[in-house]
Amino acid sequence: MFLKTFRKGIHLPGHKGLTSSLPIEILPSPQQVVLPLSQHIGAPAEPLVSVGDQVLLGQKIAEAQGMVSAPLHASVAGKIIAIEPRPHVCGKMVTAIVIENNRTDEWAPEIFPRHLDPERAESDEVREIMKEAGLVGMGGAAFPTHVKYNLSPDQPIDYVILNGAECEPFLTCDHRLMVEKPDRIVFGLRVMLRAAGASKGYIVIEENKPDAIAALNRAVQGYPIEVVPVKAKYPQGEERMIIYAATRRVVPVGALPAAVGVIVNNVATAFALAEFIQSGRPLISRIITVTGNGINQPKNLEVRIGTLLEDVLNYCGGFKGNPGRIILGGPLTGSAQYRLDLPIMKGTSGILVQTEAETPKTAPSVCIRCGKCVDACPFNLLPNFLGLYCEHDQIDKAEAYGVLDCRECGSCAYVCPARRPLTQMFKNTKNKIIAAKRKTS
Ligand code: SF4
Ligand code: SF4
């Protein structure tokens, strides 16, 4: 069979065998949850509760603020014991609501099914549901979903695509969700199609997940939805690659997918939407993969949002020896973390624990001009030059060489024999350029 793919990119060992066949387990709710008000792109949510209040499971405890934001819900029933700055995955202290679990799991009265017909729903109604559910992009981007569907009338949407590629090594949470909950994912996509006014849906899945492809092919029967198997290659799960694989449409540099009539969501986001409509459950938990050679019992887990890493890792049998590095997310786009009192957030897809032996010991060196990064960049950038410009703070040159078009996929840094922290340099430079543009606008 001819499989769709894209030019360049990199072939990586998947390391998915550690967890790909393990059914999702439910992590018992922890004694405390820490819920940062900022766990999505945009303005932090505004607390609706005070210290000392009792809250019920699923109760809205913080409201979305401004145009781009998402509300927050209690992921355990119990008492609010603090609203204060707590460690956040961004490396700073960020205000969070802390709930002491009373172990009743008593649902809030507003938790009830919505009885919404996907083929008849109004798009305004669906957008409101997306917002009320606290949905954000669960592939890691954490962009509020209802904002993505706030479409301009002059940009009609033809297709909604679900990203089930899961191309990052080690992660298998989306894979297991597709195998175990295909009907809910398809229900969520049908609602999304209606919200976007789109005529067709696609679910793009890498070929190395035949059981997920089979499960979804069964679930889409009778609906205008096609499952698209694609080659297992990194970064196949990047938004532009997904769009090209499904539709052969090319998103212009600097434009959003809506510019070519497409919206892309993660399969987990579609599932979370279906959960809210069919069960009334807002986004209070998510599936993550806990994996790597440095953890005793790798698992796919359903985890309450706000559970601390240490609680998750303890449930997985703790570290195997001394951990070398703990990464939130996958090894290419995830972020290394140095403390265990960080919470699982809406956009957290996994915890990867590398052993000391797997952790690089050599320091980055100067560019040896091998050109491997150029061959790897799927967006035809020149990471070698960009790296030099960013390193020497030559921001104008970096911008002229397209640093803003970098999708931070990490392919260049992965292949670089000099171990240059290219992605990090590009990220920092992009932030500087964007901040400067904001100041002058
Ligand atoms: S991180 Fe940026 S420059 Fe590097 S390969 Fe990805 S898109 Fe290209
Ligand atoms: S891969 Fe690394 S060493 Fe080779 S050209 Fe690119 S930046 Fe330089």
Whether 333 lines ligand 1, by a CB cut-off of 6 Å, is: no
Q: Identify the three-state secondary structure at position 84.
A: strand
The predicted-structure confidence for 316-363, as pLDDT tens digits, reads as follows: 999 998 899 999 999 998 988 989 999 999 999 999 999 988 887 778
| Nearest Cα residue to atom 4 of ligand 1 | 412
Number of domains in the chain: 2
Whether 422 lines ligand 1, by a CB cut-off of 6 Å, is: yes
Cα dihedral 229, 234, 239, 243, rounded to 10, equals -40
Q: Are residues 122 and 235 in the same domain?
A: yes
Looking up residue 136, the CATH number of its domain turns out to be 3.40.50.11540
Residue 147 lies in a domain: yes
pLDDT at res. 365: 86
Atom of ligand 1 nearest to the CA of 235: 6
Check residues 276 and 252 and name the one with the higher pLDDT: 276
Residue 308 lies in a domain: no
Whether 20 lines ligand 1, by a CB cut-off of 6 Å, is: no
Residue 40 lies in a domain: no
Residue 50 lies in a domain: no
Handedness of CA 371, 373, 375, 381 (dihedral sign): negative
User: Average pLDDT of 263-273?
Assistant: 97
What does the DSSP assignment read for 114-127? ----TTT--HHHHH
Residue 44 lies in a domain: no
- Using the 3D structure, point to which of 254, 279, 304 is the last residue of a domain: 279
pLDDT at res. 354: 94
What does pLDDT average to over the chain? Answer: 93
Q: Which of 10, 365, 369, 391 to mutate to test the pocket of ligand 2 (most atoms within 8 A of CB)?
A: 369
CB of 269 closer than 8 Å to CB of 137: yes
| Nearest Cα residue to atom 7 of ligand 2 | 384
Q: Are residues 145 and 272 in the same domain?
A: yes
Q: Identify the three-state secondary structure at position 419.
A: coil
Does this model's pTM top 0.85? My answer is yes
Q: Are residues 164 and 272 in the same domain?
A: yes
Whether 99 lines ligand 2, by a CB cut-off of 6 Å, is: no
Q: Are residues 395 and 260 in the same domain?
A: no
Half-sphere exposure of 135 (CA within 13 A, CB side): 31
pLDDT bucket at 300, cuts 50 / 70 / 90: very high
| Nearest Cα residue to atom 2 of ligand 1 | 406
Residue 143 lies in a domain: yes
Residue type for 105, please?
D
* Ligand 2 centre distance from Cα of residue 210 (Å): 36
DSSP state, residue 112: -
Q: Are residues 263 and 122 in the same domain?
A: yes
Whether 408 lines ligand 1, by a CB cut-off of 6 Å, is: yes
pLDDT at res. 362: 77
Whether 44 lines ligand 2, by a CB cut-off of 6 Å, is: no
pLDDT bucket at 253, cuts 50 / 70 / 90: confident
Q: Are residues 130 and 260 in the same domain?
A: yes
* Ligand 1 centre distance from Cα of residue 390 (Å): 13
The C-alpha atoms of residue 150 and residue 391 are separated, in whole angstroms, by 38
| Nearest Cα residue to atom 5 of ligand 1 | 377
Whether 390 lines ligand 2, by a CB cut-off of 6 Å, is: no
- Using the 3D structure, point to which of 259, 279, 299 is the last residue of a domain: 279
The predicted-structure confidence for 69-105, as pLDDT tens digits, reads as follows: 999 999 999 999 999 999 998 888 999 999 999 999 9
Q: Identify the three-state secondary structure at position 386.
A: helix
Q: Are residues 260 and 390 in the same domain?
A: no
Residue 338 lies in a domain: no
- Using the 3D structure, point to which of 248, 279, 310 is the last residue of a domain: 279
Give me the domain span that covers residue 145.
16-20+115-279
Residue 172 lies in a domain: yes
Whether 387 lines ligand 1, by a CB cut-off of 6 Å, is: no
Cα dihedral 10, 13, 14, 15, rounded to 10, equals -150
| Nearest Cα residue to atom 8 of ligand 1 | 377
pLDDT at res. 268: 98
